[in-house]
C-alpha cells in the first residue's frame, strides 16, 4: 500500500508525542474521528488524493472539517501538508489507532455473522474473546449471508469457524468419503 511505511513513521511519532504529553487517549479519539470521516466521504478522499487541488486548499478544508481536534493532530496535519503527504492522513490515523490499541493491550476481533449482532450478543462475544486471549477487544461485526447461520470469529491469527455453511460442507465431505466404501 502506497505510503504505508511513511504512515507508520508518522503514527509512531504522534503516539510518542501524545504519550509524552499524556494525551494519547484524546488523540486516539480524534484519530478515530479522522479515519471515520475520511472513510465515509468519497469527496474528501478524492480531495486529499487529487494532484489538481492545491495543498493549501486541502489543509484549509481539513482545518474546517476538524476544527475542534487536539493540537497534536492539528500539528500532524500541518506537518503532512508541509511534506506533501496530506493524502496519507487517513492511513496515518489508521496506523495510530492500531499502534495505540497494541500499546493498551486491545485487539480487533472480527465476527462474521449471517445477520447483524445485537448488543447482548456483542457483549457475550467480547467476554469470550477476553477469556480466550486475555486481552480486551474491539468488536467488528461483518455480515455475510453465505455463512447461513452461526458465526466465524477471527482474533489476530486465531480463527474459529462455527458457521452452518462449514458444518454443511463437513457433512457433504463426510458423505462423499463414505459413499466410496462398499459393504
Q: Label residue 117 by pLDDT band (50, 70, 90).
A: confident
Go through 14-43 and write b for each residue having 16 or more CB atoms within 10 A of its CB, e for each that does not. bbeebeeeebbeebbebbebbbeebeeeee
Contact 67, 76 (CB under 8 A): no
Number of H helices, E strands in the chain: 8, 4
Q: Which fold has domain 4-102?
A: Peroxidase; domain 1 (1.10.520)
pLDDT of residue 76: 94
Selection from 37, 119, 30, 106 nearest residue 75 by Cα: 30
> Where do the structural domains in the chain lie, given as residue ranges?
4-102, 105-178
pLDDT of residue 181: 53
pLDDT of residue 15: 95
Q: Label residue 179 by pLDDT band (50, 70, 90).
A: low
Query: Model confidence over 144-169: pLDDT tens digits?
Result: 888 888 888 888 778 888 887 787 78
Least confident of 76-80, 114-118, 128-132: 128-132
pLDDT of residue 39: 92
pLDDT of residue 40: 92
Share of the chain above pLDDT 90, in %: 36
pLDDT of residue 180: 57
Q: Label residue 70 by pLDDT band (50, 70, 90).
A: very high
Amino acid at each position: 500500500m502506497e505510503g504505508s511505511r511513511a504512515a507508520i513513521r508518522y503514527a509512531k511519532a504522534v503516539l510518542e508525542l501524545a504519550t509524552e504529553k499524556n494525551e494519547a487517549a484524546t488523540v486516539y479519539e480524534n484519530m478515530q474521528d479522522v479515519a471515520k470521516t475520511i472513510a465515509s466521504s468519497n469527496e474528501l478522499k478524492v480531495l486529499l488524493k487529487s494532484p489538481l487541488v492545491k495543498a493549501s486548499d486541502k489543509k484549509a478544508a481539513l482545518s474546517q472539517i476538524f476544527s475542534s481536534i487536539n493540537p497534536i493532530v492539528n500539528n500532524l496535519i500541518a506537518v503532512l501538508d508541509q511534506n506533501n503527504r496530506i493524502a496519507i492522513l487517513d492511513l496515518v490515523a489508521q496506523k495510530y489507532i492500531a499502534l495505540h490499541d497494541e500499546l493498551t493491550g486491545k485487539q480487533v476481533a472480527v465476527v462474521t455473522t449471517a445477520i447483524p449482532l445485537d448488543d447482548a450478543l456483542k457483549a457475550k462475544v467480547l467476554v469470550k474473546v477476553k477469556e480466550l486471549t486475555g486481552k480486551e477487544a474491539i468488536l467488528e461485526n461483518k455480515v455475510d449471508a453465505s455463512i447461513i447461520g452461526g458465526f466465524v470469529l477471527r482474533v489476530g491469527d486465531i480463527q474459529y469457524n462455527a458457521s452452518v455453511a462449514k458444518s454443511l460442507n463437513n457433512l457433504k465431505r463426510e458423505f462423499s468419503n463414505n459413499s466410496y466404501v462398499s459393504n
